[in-house]
A and B are shown apart, each in its own frame.
Chain A
Amino acid sequence: MSVFPYLVAAWIFLVGCYGLATSRNLLHAVGCLAVCQSSTYVLLLAVGFRDGGTAPVFSDLTPGSRPVVDPVVQALALTDVVVGATLTALLLALVIQVSKRHGTVDPDELSELRG
């Protein structure tokens, strides 16, 4: 069972990609991209887990008294979350403009760029 959390991450990535590829609405597509990114959060935190570990915060914990989980992946996940949130904001701003200029947010109906 020790690979199960990793397989969850894989599943999240694949469903996100499926949603992104088959999306009929650009807002939904941006959401699917965020789903793909969530897979990296799950993977990061799963990789850093230690059996019986607690949070690596020593304000109420004597150092060495208990195992702690890997703090590095948590810091990386925080960076990843910030990157994802700001990126989503920027992409949503673009979706607003696409909807204004094209009058639609269905990728099937955007046909200005091709060939």
Chain B
Amino acid sequence: MSRRLRMWVLALGTAGVAVLLVVAYLELPGFGGDSHPYGDRAVSAALAHRTANVISSVNFDQRGFDTLGEESILFAAVLGTVVLLRQTRDERQVEPAPAPVAAFVRRYAVHALPVTLLVGLYVVAHGQLSPGGGFQGGVVVATALHLLYIAVDYRALERVRPLWLFTLGDAVGEASYALLGIAGLLWGTAFLADFVPLGTFNTLSSGGTVPLLNAAIGIEVACAVVVLLARFLDQAVEIEKAR
């Protein structure tokens, strides 16, 4: 299609969809309304299972099956990226050149690294209590390692990042979630059932399986993000067209 024709088709479609969106959204319950039946039930269910962070309870307990699919999407995307960004026959690997790093950048990154790592682990561990959890904390942990790339260079990052280990961690996190689900089936009432003791409300050990599933997700996300970024960084730093 010519550009002109595309613009006409687009104008027609956009106008139609705009009308639909406005018509439908005008019929939505008003913003800030008080009727949230599912939300109210989710709050009571979370409190019944002694999980202070209701969102974690929804994600890992009440709708834990969604999260199984969600972490599998991440797992699949990482696997897909490994396939799509592999070194092809007409490409070769080059040794990344060390780059000069300004002293204050290095100082900042070296100090920020352990703090970031700790914050990430804290966010994973407290997912059932405060905002955060395996997904958020996992990303922070993975980011922390990449501060080495900023502080030193790519080779330093590669030394602390054996990819086979992180690939293994990715798979272990993915499998742990499913295995915890099966454990719920064997020792509890159903797949992904909350089968361990619920613990004391508002402590680290509360929420039954929620902290365990959170940890599984934390491992998977941290490892998956490291592997994912490694593929993109390899493309940028190491892989070039063979002459």
**A–B direct touch in complex (beta carbons closer than 8 A):** yes
The chain A residues found within 8 Å of chain B, CB to CB, are: 1-7, 9-10, 13-14, 17-18, 21-22, 46-51, 53, 55-59, 63, 67-75, 78-79, 82-83, 86-87, 89-90, 92-94, 96-97, 100, 108
Is B232 touching A5 in the complex (CB atoms < 8 A)? no
Q: Which residues of B contact A3 (CB under 8 A)?
A: 25-26, 28, 30-31
Give the residues in chain B near A90, CB-CB below 8 Å.
77, 80-81, 84
Q: How many A-B residue pairs have CB under 8 A?
A: 155
Q: Does B17 contact A (CB under 8 A)?
A: yes
Chain B 51-79, CB within 8 Å of chain A: the 1/0 string? 01111011100010011001001101110
With both beta carbons as reference points, the residue of chain A lying nearest to B39 in the complex is identified as A70
> Contacts A14-B17, A59-B202: A7 and B73 contacting too (C-beta < 8 A)?
no
Chain A CB within 8 A of B146 CB: no
**Smallest Cβ distance from B55 to chain A, in angstroms?**
5
Q: How many residues on the B side are at the interface (Cβ–Cβ under 8 A)?
A: 56
**Apart from A3-B30, A69-B39, A83-B73, what are 13 other A-B pairs with CB-CB below 8 Å?**
A2-B32, A3-B26, A4-B31, A50-B33, A56-B43, A68-B39, A72-B63, A79-B59, A82-B73, A90-B84, A93-B81, A93-B232, A100-B241
- Decide yes or no whether B95 CB sits under 8 A from chain A: no
Residues of A within 8 A of B66 (CB): 75, 79
Q: Is the interface of A mostly helix, strand, loop or mixed?
A: helix
Given A2-B30, A70-B39, A96-B85, CB of A75 within 8 Å of CB of B14: no
Name the residue on A nearest B83 (C-beta).
A93
Contact B43 A68 (CB under 8 A): yes
| In the complex, the 3 A-B pairs of residues with the closest C-beta atoms, listed nearest first | A70-B39, A2-B30, A86-B77
A3 to B26: give the CA distance in the assembly, Å.
Answer: 6
Min distance, Cβ B195 to any Cβ of chain A, angstroms: 21
B31 and A78 within 8 A (CB) = no
Complex Cα distance, B88 from A60, in Å, reads 54
Contact B21–A14 (Cβ < 8 Å):
yes
Does B10 sit within 8 A of A, measured CB to CB? yes
11 A–B contacts, CB within 8 A, in A order: A14-B21, A56-B54, A57-B130, A59-B53, A70-B42, A72-B38, A74-B55, A78-B59, A82-B73, A86-B74, A90-B84
| Contact A57–B30 (Cβ < 8 Å) | no
Known: A10-B25, A17-B14, A89-B81. A55 touches B131 (CB 8 A): yes
